[in-house]
C-alpha cells in the first residue's frame, strides 16, 4: 500500500464498520487535489485525499512559519548574571530594545538591587509589562513598589491585587505607610476609594470589570501578586477572566514563585493584549537552604542537601537505616492510625525542642491534618523558651486582643480566624540568616530518587485551571462586544492547547514516514489473513471468559492439571496446577459468580535464561483470570516440591507430554466442562467457521506468514496511532470547552436565565451577582420565595449548606423550622439536576445533593439567635477554625445576595440579608486577628 489516505476517515461526520473493519487496504485515487487553508471549514465533505491534504497543509513547513507569526516571537535579552531575561512580542508589534532611564528613578532603595530586580525595574521604566518569577523572599515586591511609585509620579492609578483578603489588609498597611495615597476595597470594607493606589483581591477586580467600573478608565498599571494562584483548581479561573477582561492599554506586573513555563505565560499575555511582556526569571536564593531529614523515632537530624544544592546520599542512607531500625509502630495497638498520630506528635515535640536548643528559631511547622495540628499545639505548650521580658510583651499583646472579646469568648481556647497565608519557602530571612533550615520528618522508607524529587524537584508549571461557570457566562452576555465564546478563545487553556500543535504535527509526520517505510508483499492478502486472525483471537477471548468463570472453573483446578497462563508482560509455557484458594467478596451479589476471587498456585518452567538448561521450575501465584488455557492432561505431582529432583521430574514430564501430543489437548468447554449456554455454543461455532476460512486462504501455506502478519501488525498499530494523532490534532484546532458552553447555555435557557438570543432575564441578573458558587440553586431559592418565608437566622442556617466542607460524626438533630427549608432546597436542586441532564450535562443527582452538607445548620441557627461560641462548639465535632471559616464565607455570600436582591429591587429581602449579617457578624468569630 503506497499511501494512508484510507486512514483519514476520522474526518467523516459519521462512519460505518463491518466485519472486515480491521482491513487497511484502500483503492488508489488519481485525483490531484489542492485546497485553500479554509477548506476544513466548508460545508461539503472533502474526499479522503482532501482530508489528508488539510493535515499536510496544517503541518507543512509554510504553516510552521504561519503559526510562529500568529503566535509572535520570544527574544532573549542580554542581561546581568544570575537571572534570565526574555520578552514575548506579539506579531503586530515591532520590538524596541529597552532604554535605560536617564532621569531620576521613581523610587530609590537604601540597598543594592539584585540583578533580577534591576531588570524588572528597567522594564517598568520602559512602560512595559513584566513577569518576575523568583523564589519566596527573593525580593519580588521591589518591582511592584516601583510600579506603584512610577504610577503615582505620573498621576496614574494602579491596582494591586492579592489572592486573599488577609494579604490585601497586610499590603494596605505596608503601602499606606510608604505611599500614603492608598485605598482598600474588600467585600465588607472600602477605604479611600478615590486613592491612586487601590488594594483588592482578584475577585473584586473581576467584578469591577464585569460591572464596567469607571475606575478602570484611569488605571495604567495592575500588579498581580502570587499569580501562580492561577493554577488553583477552584479559584484559578478568576485570574484568567480578569486578565482577559482588562483593557489592552493597561500594563502588568506579575509576581510569581518559580514556574518552569514562565515564558509561555508571557507569550499568552502578549497574545491577548497585543503588547510585549517580559519575563525576568531567577533561581537565585538570597539565603541558601539546607535540607535536613528527621527519621521518625530517631534522635537527630541528617543534612541531605547542603547550601550548594548537593545531595548527600551517604547521610540520606544513614537516615533510612535509622528509620528501619527504630520501627516505632507497636503491634499491640489496635488503632494504628491513632498510635501513629501519637508517635508523630512525640517526634514533632522532639524536633521543635531540638531546634530551639540549637538556636534555630523562629520555626514554622507544617502539618497536613487539622487534628494533628491541635495535638502538636498541646504538645508545644509544655515547652518554654521565652525570657521574662518576652513573656511580658506576649501577655500584653494577648490581653489587648482579649479586651475586645466577651467574657465567655475569653474562656475559649484561642484560635486565629482562618487567615491562610502561603508560608512555603519562608525559611531563611534575608539580612538575618546565613542559611535557611528546612527539616523534613519522614516515617516511611523512600528511595534516594524519590527524596531528590521532593527536595530538589522542579517547580510545578503554571497550567490553566480554566472552567466555565454560569456566573461567568451570564456576566459575559451582559458585556458589550464580548461573549462567552470570546473568553474561551482567549483563555490560557486554549493557548496552551494551541502551543502543542507543532509537536503533534511533527509526531504525525514521523508516523507517516514510518508507515510508508513498511512494505509488505501481497499486502491485501496478508491484511485479510490478519483480519481473520484478529477475529479468531476475539472469539477465543470470549470463550476464555466462560472457562475462567469460577462457576465452571473450580471443579477443574485439580492438582497436576496442565495449564497455560499469562500476565501483562508475557504468555508462559505450559505448567501444572498445585493448589487454589477461593475467597468470596463480603458484599458480593450471590447471583454474580465473577465476584468470587480465586488465587491459583502454578508451577511453570523458570523464565530465567541461566536456569533453563537445568530444567529448574518456579512456583508463582496468579489470579484465576490469568488462566489462558486448561489442558485435558493431568500429570502426577510429587508430594515434596522443594526437592530439586522432584522439580526436575515435573519438568521432564512436561517436556515429554508436549513432545508426545505436539499440541496439548484442551478441555472442551461444552463436552468436558459442561458449559451449556447458547452464547458459548454460538462462539464455538463461529470459531470453527473462522478457523476453516483461515486454513482455506492460499496464503495460509506461506512459510513466512507469521513474519508477514507481525509486520502487518506493526503497520496497523502505526495506522491506529496516526488516527489517534489526527483526532488529537482536530481537537487542538477546535475551541476548547465549546460543546460544554453550548450545554450550559441550554440549561440557562430552559431555566429562564436568558432568552434564546442570549438576553439576560431577571433570574440571570440575580445569578450575575453570585460568584461564591452554586449560583443557580441560590437564585432558585430567591425566585421561588424560600428566603421570603424564613427569618434571618433560618436564612443563614440554610446558606450554611453551601459553605460546609466537612462532615460531622455527630447525628444531625434539627427541628422542622430547619428541616423543612432543607427539603425544599433539595427539591430545587433535583430540578436543576434533571434539567442539566436533559441538556446532556451528566450530573449524578445523589452526588450533587450530598454536596450541600447540613452539618452546620443548627450551629449557625443558634449562633445567629445569640448562643455563645463555646455553646455551639460543644454541639459539634467540627473544628473551631472550620466553623469560623464557614461564618466568614457566609458573610461574603450574604453580601452577594444583598447585591443580587438590590439589582432586582427587592427591598424586603435586601433588608433581611442585612439583618442576617448583623446577627452573624459578632463575637470571636469576627474578632481581629493577631496576625501582624
Geometric angle at alpha carbon 430, from 429 and 433, rounded to 5°? 60
> Which of 244, 241, 248, 245 has the alpha carbon at shortest distance from 273?
248
Distance separating alpha carbons of residues 822 and 818, to the nearest angstrom:
6
Torsion, CA 641, CA 642, CA 648, CA 649, rounded to 10: -30
Q: Which residues does residue 131 pair with via DSSP β-bridges, in sequence order? A: 254, 279
According to DSSP, the β-strands at 157-162 and 197-201 are parallel
Helices (H) and strands (E) in the chain, counts: 34, 18
Nearest Cα neighbor of 68 from 487, 486, 505 is 505
Closest-CA residue to 257 (of 235, 285, 289, 292): 285
Could you tell me whether strands 219-224 and 157-162 are parallel, antiparallel, or unpaired per DSSP bridges? Answer: parallel
Angle between helix axes 792-803 and 775-783 (nearest 10 degrees) is 160
Of 227, 273, 270, the C-alpha closest to 247 is 273
CA distances from 83 to 130, 258, 307, 356 (A): 14, 12, 19, 36
Overall size of the chain counted in residues: 932
Fill in the DSSP letter of residue 704.
T
Beta bridge partners of 289: 436
Closest listed residue to residue 8, CA positions, set 40, 52, 43:
52
Please report the pLDDT score of residue 831 as a whole number: 96
Q: Quote the pLDDT of residue 864.
A: 95
Kind of pairing, strands 129-133 and 73-76?
unpaired
Q: Which residues contact 272 (CB under 8 A, 6 or more apart)?
A: 243, 244, 490, 495
Decide: residue 913, CB within 10 A, 0-12 exposed, 13-18 middle, 19+ buried.
buried
Asked if omega into 362 is within 30° of 0 (cis), the reply is yes
pLDDT the model gives residue 17: 34
pLDDT at 35: 23
187 neighbors 769 (Cβ within 8 angstroms): no
The helix/strand/coil state of 754 is strand
* Inter-residue contact 451 to 316 (CB < 8 Å): yes
**Which grid cell sits at 902?**
438590590
Rounded CA gap, 154 and 148, in Å? 10
User: How far is Cα 123 from Cα 185, in angstroms, rounded to an integer?
Assistant: 28
Q: What is the DSSP letter of 215?
A: G
Strand, coil or helix: 65: helix
Cα distances (angstroms) measured from residue 136 to each of 225, 286, 426: 12, 10, 7
Q: Return the C-alpha cell found at 70.
A: 500568529
- Cα–Cα distance measured from residue 691 to residue 426, given in angstroms and rounded to the nearest whole number: 70
SS3 content of the chain, % helix, strand, coil (to 5): 50, 10, 40
> How does 762-777 read in b/e, with b if 16+ C-beta sit within 10 Å?
ebbbbbbbbbbebbbb
Instruction: Quote the Cα angle for 390-395-400, to 5°.
Output: 130
The dihedral region occupied by 837, where left means phi > 0, alpha psi between -120 and 50, and beta the remainder, is alpha
pTM: 0.74
Distance from chain centroid for Cα 373: 26
> What DSSP line would sit under 69-127, residue for residue?
HHH-EEEE----TT-EEEEEE-TTS---------S--S---SSPPPHHHHHHHHHHHTT
The number of CA neighbours under 13 Å toward the Cβ of 693 is 16
What does DSSP assign to residue 582?
E
pLDDT score for 172: 93
Write down the pLDDT at residue 514.
92
Q: What residues contact 791, with CB distance under 8 A and at least 6 apart?
A: 912
HSE value, Cβ hemisphere, 13 Å, CA-based, for 575 = 29
Would you call 574 helix, strand, or coil by DSSP?
A: coil
Per residue in 831-890, pLDDT tens? 999 999 999 998 999 999 999 999 999 999 999 999 998 899 888 888 888 888 899 999
Provide the pLDDT for residue 36. Answer: 25
Residues 6+ apart with CB under 8 A from 372: 341, 344, 345
**pLDDT digit string, tens, across residues 431-466:** 666 666 776 766 667 777 777 776 666 677 888 889
List, in sequence order, every residue forming a beta bridge with 88; answer none if it has no partner: 74, 277
Q: 281 by DSSP, 3-state: which?
A: strand
d(CA 694, CA 535): 11
CA 496 centroid distance within chain:
16
pLDDT value of position 290: 78
Q: How far is CA 337 from the centre of its chain?
A: 27
The kind and range of the H/E element at 910 are: helix 907-920
Query: Cell numbers 488539510 label which residue?
Result: 54
**Residues of the chain where predicted confidence (pLDDT) is lower than 70:** 1-71, 80, 324-345, 366-370, 402, 404-436, 439, 441-444, 454-458, 584-595, 608-615, 928-932
Q: How many CB atoms lie within 10 A of CB 506?
A: 12
Amino acid at each position: 500500500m503506497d499511501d494512508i489516505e484510507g486512514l483519514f476517515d476520522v474526518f467523516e461526520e459519521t462512519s460505518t464498520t463491518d466485519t472486515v473493519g480491521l482491513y487497511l487496504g484502500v483503492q488508489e485515487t488519481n485525483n490531484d487535489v489542492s485546497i485553500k487553508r479554509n477548506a476544513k471549514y466548508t460545508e461539503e465533505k472533502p474526499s479522503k485525499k482532501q482530508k489528508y491534504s488539510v493535515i499536510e497543509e496544517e503541518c507543512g513547513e509554510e504553516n510552521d512559519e504561519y503559526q510562529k507569526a500568529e503566535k509572535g516571537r520570544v527574544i532573549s535579552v542580554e542581561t546581568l548574571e544570575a537571572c534570565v531575561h526574555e520578552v514575548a512580542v506579539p506579531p503586530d508589534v515591532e520590538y524596541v530594545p529597552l532604554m535605560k532611564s536617564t532621569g531620576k528613578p521613581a523610587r530609590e532603595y537604601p540597598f543594592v538591587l539584585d540583578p533580577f530586580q534591576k531588570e524588572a525595574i528597567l522594564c517598568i521604566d520602559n512602560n512595559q509589562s513584566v513577569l518576575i518569577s523568583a523564589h519566596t523572599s527573593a525580593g519580588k515586591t521591589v518591582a511592584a513598589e516601583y510600579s506603584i511609585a512610577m504610577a503615582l509620579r505620573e498621576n496614574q492609578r494602579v491596582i494591586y491585587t492579592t489572592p486573599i483578603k488577609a494579604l490585601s489588609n497586610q499590603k494596605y498597611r505596608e503601602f499606606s505607610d510608604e505611599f500614603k495615597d492608598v485605598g482598600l476595597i474588600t467585600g465588607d470594607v472600602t477605604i479611600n476609594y478615590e486613592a491612586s493606589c487601590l488594594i483588592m483581591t482578584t475577585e473584586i477586580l473581576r467584578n469591577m470589570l464585569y460591572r464596567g467600573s469607571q475606575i478602570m478608565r484611569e488605571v495604567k498599571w495592575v500588579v498581580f501578586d502570587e499569580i501562580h494562584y492561577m493554577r488553583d483548581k477552584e479559584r484559578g479561573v478568576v485570574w484568567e477572566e480578569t486578565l482577559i477582561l482588562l483593557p489592552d492599554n493597561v500594563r502588568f506586573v506579575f509576581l510569581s514563585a518559580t514556574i518552569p513555563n514562565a515564558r509561555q505565560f508571557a507569550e499568552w499575555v502578549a497574545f491577548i493584549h497585543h503588547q510585549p511582556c517580559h519575563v525576568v526569571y531567577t533561581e537565585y536564593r538570597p539565603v541558601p537552604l539546607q535540607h535536613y531529614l528527621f527519621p521518625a523515632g530517631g534522635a537527630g537530624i541528617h543534612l541531605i542537601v547542603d547550601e550548594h544544592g548537593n545531595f548527600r546520599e551517604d547521610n540520606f542512607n544513614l537516615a533510612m537505616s535509622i528509620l528501619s531500625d527504630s520501627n516505632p509502630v507497636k503491634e499491640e495497638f489496635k488503632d494504628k492510625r491513632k498510635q501513629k498520630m501519637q508517635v508523630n506528635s512525640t517526634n514533632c515535640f522532639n524536633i521543635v525542642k531540638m531546634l530551639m536548643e540549637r538556636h534555630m528559631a523562629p520555626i514554622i511547622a507544617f502539618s497536613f491534618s487539622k487534628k494533628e495540628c491541635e495535638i502538636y499545639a498541646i504538645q508545644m505548650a509544655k515547652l518554654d523558651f521565652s525570657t521574662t521580658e518576652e513573656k511580658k510583651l506576649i501577655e500584653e499583646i494577648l490581653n489587648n486582643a482579649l479586651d475586645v472579646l466577651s467574657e465567655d469568648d475569653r474562656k475559649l481556647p484561642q484560635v486565629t480566624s482562618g487567615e491562610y497565608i502561603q508560608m512555603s519557602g519562608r525559611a531563611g530571612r534575608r539580612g538575618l540568616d546565613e542559611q535557611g533550615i528546612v527539616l523534613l520528618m519522614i516515617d516511611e522508607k523512600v528511595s534516594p530518587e524519590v527524596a531528590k524529587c521532593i527536595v530538589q524537584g522542579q517547580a510545578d508549571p503554571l497550567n490553566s485551571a480554566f472552567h466555565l461557570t454560569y456566573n461567568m457566562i451570564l456576566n459575559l452576555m451582559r458585556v458589550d462586544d464580548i461573549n462567552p465564546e470570546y473568553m474561551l478563545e482567549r483563555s490560557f487553556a486554549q493557548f496552551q492547547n494551541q502551543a502543542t500543535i507543532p509537536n503533534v504535527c511533527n509526531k504525525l509526520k514521523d508516523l507517516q514516514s514510518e508507515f510508508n517505510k513498511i512494505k509488505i508483499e501481497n499486502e491485501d492478502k496478508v491484511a485479510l489473513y490478519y483480519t481473520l486472525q484478529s477475529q479468531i483471537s476475539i472469539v477465543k477471548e470470549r470463550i476464555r471468559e466462560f472457562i475462567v468463570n469460577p462457576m465452571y472453573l473450580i471443579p477443574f483446578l485439580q492438582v497436576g492439571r496442565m495449564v497455560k497462563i499469562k500476565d501483562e508482560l508475557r504468555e508462559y509455557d505450559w505448567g501444572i496446577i498445585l493448589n487454589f484458594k477461593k475467597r468470596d467478596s463480603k458484599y458480593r451479589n450471590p447471583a454474580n459468580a465473577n465476584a468470587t476471587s480465586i488465587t491459583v498456585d502454578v508451577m511453570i518452567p523458570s523464565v530465567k535464561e541461566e536456569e533453563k538448561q537445568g530444567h529448574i521450575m518456579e512456583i508463582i501465584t496468579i489470579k484465576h483470570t490469568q488462566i489462558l488455557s486448561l489442558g485435558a492432561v493431568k500429570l502426577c505431582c510429587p508430594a515434596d516440591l522443594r526437592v530439586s529432583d522432584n522439580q526436575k521430574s515435573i519438568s521432564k514430564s512436561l517436556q515429554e507430554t508436549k513432545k508426545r501430543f505436539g499440541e496439548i489437548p484442551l478441555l472442551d468447554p461444552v463436552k468436558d466442562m459442561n458449559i451449556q449456554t447458547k452464547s458459548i455454543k454460538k462462539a464455538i461455532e463461529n470459531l470453527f467457521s473462522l478457523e476453516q476460512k483461515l486454513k482455506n486462504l492460499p496464503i495460509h501455506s506461506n512459510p513466512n506468514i507469521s513474519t508477514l502478519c507481525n509486520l502487518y501488525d506493526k503497520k496497523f498499530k502505526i495506522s491506529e496511532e496516526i488516527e489517534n494523532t489526527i483526532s488529537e490534532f482536530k481537537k487542538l484546532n477546535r475551541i476548547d470547552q465549546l460543546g460544554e458552553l453550548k450545554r450550559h447555555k441550554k440549561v440557562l435557557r430552559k431555566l429562564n436565565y436568558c432568552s434564546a438570543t442570549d438576553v439576560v432575564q431577571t433570574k440571570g441578573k440575580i445569578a450575575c451577582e453570585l460568584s461564591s458558587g452554586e449560583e443557580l440553586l441560590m437564585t432558585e431559592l430567591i425566585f421561588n420565595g424560600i428566603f421570603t418565608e424564613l427569618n434571618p437566622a433560618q436564612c443563614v442556617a440554610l446558606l450554611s449548606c453551601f459553605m460546609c466542607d466537612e462532615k460531622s460524626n455527630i447525628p444531625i438533630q434539627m427541628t422542622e423550622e430547619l428541616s423543612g427549608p432543607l427539603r425544599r432546597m433539595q427539591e430545587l436542586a433535583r430540578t436543576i439536576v434533571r434539567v442539566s441532564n436533559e441538556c446532556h450535562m451528566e450530573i449524578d443527582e445523589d452526588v450533587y445533593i450530598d454536596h450541600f452538607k447540613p452539618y452546620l445548620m443548627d450551629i449557625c441557627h443558634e449562633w445567629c439567635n445569640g448562643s455563645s461560641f463555646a455553646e455551639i462548639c460543644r454541639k459539634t465535632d467540627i473544628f473551631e477554625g472550620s466553623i469560623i471559616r464557614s461564618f466568614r464565607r457566609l458573610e461574603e455570600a450574604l453580601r452577594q445576595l444583598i447585591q443580587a436582591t438590590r439589582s432586582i429591587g427587592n427591598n424586603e429581602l435586601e433588608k433581611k440579608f442585612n439583618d442576617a449579617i448583623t446577627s452573624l457578624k459578632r463575637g470571636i468569630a469576627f474578632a481581629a486577628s493577631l496576625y501582624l
